[in-house]
């Protein structure tokens, strides 16, 4: 897919982070975009960014926003029906299953509801997004499905002695599912391609959004942790979106995002048996990757 102009894209989690930047950059390239999020005000901020970036209120004519919890099948099907009605279409060209949160680190000690909430959004949102929209992608003359996993889809850790089970399990599922789709699409829908996206540390609001969604609270501690995660990231959300879209143009099925993702990928391949030891994290730090993770 050489150009996104006059294409219709669906983006989940379009109210912040990489999702917002995907919407903005797709709109700037002439695409129509349907985004969903759980926050109407966040999506309106994305709309405003599109107006400022593209220039002129008329860009709103190509954009729609939809309230949707991606872990809820009824809401996802309603989102699909709204897209078809509001864009007057029976097909879409691009599907970005991007929405995600963190939480439920320990399977043994964390609250079960937090664990399942994380898994249901990070994996269930991809699964339900595909169930809802893949038939519309297949109905187009060409299409591309983009599922966001993480470096935690091939390395199930955020540092030694810090459990990370729910998010890692979900992202491993996204990676495996998307890789399996390559063959499925080749046999049954060869005009459609798919990509799995594996970002490293990206400057998004995922920490703050996750804490607010899981606890229902807010406050200076959440704001401080969220800002630190975003502001100290080596790759911005805008840079990440550009890498993803460039990968889609190039037809890449595996898209690593950020230098730290490339470093970690190489280290895991070189020493898979030692991947969860302190020495492994120290080697990561020596190569300038994910230096905020604790090695002891």
Average pLDDT over residues 1-25: 97
Check residue 296 and give its pLDDT.
76
State the pLDDT at residue 219: 62
Average pLDDT over residues 24-33: 98
Domain edges within the chain: 8-260
E-strand ranges in 98-230 read: 143-148, 192-199, 202-203
Is the pLDDT reported for residue 215 higher than 60?
no
Give the active site residues.
167
Spatial distance between the Cα atoms of 185 and 130, rounded to a whole number of angstroms:
12
H or E segment to which residue 10 belongs: strand 8-12
If pLDDT is split at 50, 70 and 90, which confidence band does 1 have? confident
Check residue 220 and give its pLDDT.
64
The values of phi and psi at residue 65, to 5°, are -125, 145
pLDDT at 212 over 70: no
d(CA 31, CA 28): 7
Q: Give the integer Cα–Cα distance in Å for 33 and 6.
A: 10
Residue 207 has pLDDT above 80, yes or no: no
Residue 218 has pLDDT above 70, yes or no: no
- For residue 214, pLDDT beyond 70: no
**pLDDT value, residue 209:** 59
Query: Coil, helix or strand for 65?
Result: strand
Q: What is the pLDDT of residues 259-289, one digit of tens each?
A: 999 999 999 999 999 999 999 999 999 999 9
What count of other Cβ atoms lies within 10 Å of the Cβ of residue 30? 14
Those residues whose C-beta lies under 8 Å from the C-beta of residue 79, and which sit 6 or more positions away, are 34, 36, 66, 68, 132
Q: Residue 9: what pLDDT?
A: 98
The mean per-residue pLDDT over the stretch 173-187 comes to: 98
The CATH H-level superfamily of 8-260 is NAD(P)-binding Rossmann-like Domain (3.40.50.720)
Portion of the chain with pLDDT greater than 90, in percent: 84
Q: Taking Cα atoms as reference points, which of 196, 243, 245 lies closest to residue 30?
A: 245
Q: Mean pLDDT over residues 42-57, rounded?
A: 94
Q: What span, in angstroms and rounded, lies between the C-alpha atoms of 9 and 215?
A: 32
Given the DSSP bridges, would you call strands 143-148 and 32-37 parallel, antiparallel or unpaired?
unpaired
Residue 70 has pLDDT above 90, yes or no: yes
Q: What is the pLDDT of residues 222-256, one digit of tens each?
A: 566 666 666 778 899 999 999 999 999 999 999 99
């Amino acid at each position: 897919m050489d150009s996104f102009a006059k294409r219709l894209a669906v983006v989940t989690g379009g109210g912040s982070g990489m999702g917002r930047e995907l919407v903005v950059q797709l709109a700037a390239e002439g695409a129509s975009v349907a985004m969903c999020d759980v926050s109407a005000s966040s999506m309106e901020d994305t709309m405003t960014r599109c107006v400022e970036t593209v220039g002129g209120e008329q860009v709103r004519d190509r954009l729609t926003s939809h309230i949707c919890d991606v872990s809820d099948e009824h809401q996802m099907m309603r989102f699909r029906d709204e897209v078809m009605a509001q864009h007057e279409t029976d097909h879409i060209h691009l599907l970005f299953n991007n929405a995600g949160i963190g939480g439920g680190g320990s399977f043994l000690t964390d609250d079960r509801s937090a664990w399942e909430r994380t898994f249901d959004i990070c994996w269930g949102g991809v699964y339900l997004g595909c169930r809802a929209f893949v038939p519309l992608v297949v109905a187009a003359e060409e299409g591309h499905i983009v599922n966001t996993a993480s470096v935690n889809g091939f390395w199930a850790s955020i540092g030694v002695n810090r459990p990370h089970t729910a998010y890692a399990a979900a992202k491993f599922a996204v990676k495996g599912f998307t890789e399996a789709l390559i063959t499925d699409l080749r046999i049954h829908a060869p005009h459609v391609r798919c990509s799995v996206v594996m970002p490293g540390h990206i400057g998004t609001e995922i920490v703050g959004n996750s804490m607010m969604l899981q606890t229902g609270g807010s406050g200076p501690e959440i704001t401080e942790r969220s800002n630190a995660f975003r502001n100290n990231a080596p790759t911005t959300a805008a840079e990440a979106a550009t890498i993803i879209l460039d990968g889609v143009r190039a037809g890449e099925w595996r898209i690593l995002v950020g230098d730290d993702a490339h470093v970690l990928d190489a280290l895991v391949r070189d020493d898979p048996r030692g991947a969860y030891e302190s020495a492994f994290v120290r080697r990561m730090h020596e190569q300038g990757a994910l230096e905020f993770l604790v090695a002891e």
